[in-house]
């Protein structure tokens, strides 16, 4: 029975971390200007086009890849600014 409580506790922790990450991504997205957003889209599309075929086959869709990369960039940007 202890493992059930641990599993539920871990689910709650993961949900909290996911919510925090989404909030950081929203803040990062709002802090970016239009030019920076356009440059980021171009970079992500370029990365997608130059990615090996066997890697692309493992990713469900281009839209999910773009969304994931945007979120990662925004979170990293906010973390860098918070460290300073």
> What is the structure's pLDDT at 53?
87
Question: Do 37 and 15 touch, CB atoms closer than 8 A?
Answer: no
> What is the structure's pLDDT at 57?
87
Residue 63, token pair as written in the block: 């839209």
> What is the structure's pLDDT at 43?
93
Give the chain as a 3 state SS string. Answer: CHHHHHHHHHHHHHHHHHHHHHHHHHHHHHHCCHHHHHHHHHHHHHHHHCCCHHHHCCCCCHHHHHHHHHHHHHHHHHHHHHHC
On average, the pLDDT of the chain sits at: 90
Summarised one tens digit per residue, pLDDT across range 11-40 is 999 999 999 999 999 999 998 999 999 999
């Amino acid at each position: 029975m202890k493992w059930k409580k641990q599993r539920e506790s871990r689910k709650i922790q993961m949900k909290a971390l996911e919510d925090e990450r989404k909030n950081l991504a929203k803040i990062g997205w709002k802090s970016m200007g239009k030019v920076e957003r356009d440059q980021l889209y171009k970079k992500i599309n370029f990365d997608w086009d130059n990615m090996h075929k066997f890697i692309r086959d493992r990713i469900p869709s281009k839209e999910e890849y773009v969304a994931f990369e945007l979120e990662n960039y925004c979170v990293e940007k906010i973390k860098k600014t918070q460290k300073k």
